[in-house]
Structure 1
Amino acid sequence: MRLRTACIVGSLGLALAGVQAEQTQSQGNGSRSTTARLDFELRIERMLYLRIGSGGAHAGTPAGTGPAASAAVSSADFTLSPAGLPDNPGGNGPTNAWGGAAPGFVASAAVVVPVEVRSNAGQVSLVAQTAGGLTSPGGGFISLNQLTVSSDNSSLPAPPHLARGTGPSVNVATGGSGTGAAGTLLTYRTAHWTLQFTPPATPPAAGTYSSLIVYTASSP
């Protein structure tokens, strides 16, 4: 089974705008003085960065630039192996009776993916959206209810997902490394999310099943 996760990337920019100059003149005998005013405006754009899976970390620079947006989608791959089949080596070896019950399946080890969120836009929330269950080219179907996602960092929780549609949102804690000067506005959080697949009670047909989960970060 292949489960794909999406990566959404934003960027940060600083802009200097609205600069205007004033000219004045003072003329005559004796000491003179004159003034000229300068309108100055600095615009700091809001930035929101989300990475799920492989990719470059947002190291940040004095200019506010980060990694380029990436359309590459990381994959979380699981393999289900039949369990409980009778052991019959054939030939002159011993045979085992089989009661005819369908075999169970054992999922491969959990898949761990790195996650990173950066923002200067205050509170960040995350949601997970699914279009439906896992499907195979042969028409097989497995519900995404068999998949669970957990986080090793409570400051960057994994949002719960539904079998179909958009699940409830979770908040990413503001603050983090290097945000002390404005901890209620800046966010820098990293975590590892663990994806675990539990085989369904009814054995699925053999094949390759896939689906897509889209995680979305947003700020007010």
Structure 2
Amino acid sequence: MPPLPALTAVLSRSRLIACLLLVFMAAQATAFTYQGYLLTVRTELQQKMTARFGDKAGPRMAELAEALNAAGRIADEAVRVERINQIANRARYMTDPQLWQSEDYWATPVEFAALAAGDCEDYSLAKYFALRELGMPADKLRITYVRLLRQGRLENHMVLAYYPEPGAEPWVLDNLEKRFMLARDRPDLTPVYSFNDDRVWKVQSGGDRELGSPQQLRKWRELLDRVEAEVRG
């Protein structure tokens, strides 16, 4: 057994190495490249989705990719974002228990495309991934948890917020409200927290408060792991 000072030095080095490994793992986890994921239909992935979801999966993936790529050629950014919103909203709304026999499952955008169905998280994530793949920087987008007032009741809901400029009022991309509207025109929505590839925020009236990295969100980490598995085949 090493003398106490030597053991302390070994433990200190071990902690340092462990910390560096954690930093490296976090960097790896945030290094996902969106290019070639949702907007490029790869035969192997089509076949994989067809085996899981049936013969319509491949054509659905191809149809969505074609529509999103066409939207990507629209020069005006706001019009392009609105078009992405419209395209994704063509999918059927279905709950997680209906689709996945789970109370809360975040489908990958490819799963969403193959099924052409999902719930509010799936719409929001698919729109986020599509816009990121088309080159939009993360700081213009936030996946946002909200409380939705509907028929006199508050419900949990998720939307995608688009910020044309830093500090600008966001536009809301929502599967329930087909119109592309500014946040101020959606009094039925109360934001709770939001996130993108870089940060997590608690939304509050005095100014949003940063909470840290999205890698703290278990559902987001699990989603990226499954997306990476799709990419690797």
Q: TM-score range by the shorter chain?
A: under 0.3
Higher helix share: 2
Q: Which has the higher contact order (CA 8 A, sep 6+)?
A: 1
TM-score, length-scaled by structure 1: 0.21
TM-score, length-scaled by structure 2: 0.20
Which structure would you say has the larger Rg?
Answer: 1
